[in-house]
Amino acid sequence: MLFVNFKNYVFGEKSVKLAKECKKVNNKIVLGVGLGDLYRIVKETKMKCYVQHIDYQGKGRNTGYNLVENVKANNGKGVMLNHSEHRLSFEIISKTVKRCKQLNLEIMVFVKNINEGKKVSRLKPSYICVEPPKLVGGKVSVSTANPKLIEDSVKKINGRILVGAGIHSKRDVEVARKLGAKGVAVSSAVTTARNPGKVLKELI
């Protein structure tokens, strides 16, 4: 899996444009998008989209919360939780995972290390993405700085493991896959590139 997290680098018209660029390269790429852009991106590209964050609260009086039902109603396929830029308590992760499962949404939970990954694995999310926070958004990838973390995560965490943080080259992707990861999560390498399509082709 190649997962492209748009973060808040692009939104509105620019997010749709980037989604179309991703589709041109490979329609199997999974996108992490803002809830406000979800409907239009799915409608115009038919790409598989996860929402970058969601709340566990239910329908009704919960003003201001982003609901799981909203993801489902707008044809999202999954949600991201606990990214290093939007950390959650284990209690909230647990409640949110439960809500997502009720609506058959896929769940990707981000973790900062193996111990957190082991704890999260008890919730049985669809994917666990291991990202060392210090490397997130940087130029040095986890594949280069700490390949052993990838290897140990695959061995010690029960679940389908993705890795991220600083991924920006074909070699980074190859190392991660060779060590057993099911895929990688990328962001700034693609979203801030002058030619996102070219970068994506190099990563795949």
Residues acting as catalytic residues: 83, 131
What the block records as the tokens of 144 is 């280069």
Query: What is the CA 16 to chain-centroid distance, rounded?
Result: 17
H or E element: which one contains 45?
helix 35-45
H or E element: which one contains 129?
strand 127-130
Distance CA 95, CA 65 (A): 14
What the block records as the tokens of 156 is 């010690």
List CB contacts of 3: < 8 A, sequence separation 6 or more. 29, 30, 31, 32, 50, 108, 129, 162, 164, 183, 184, 185, 186
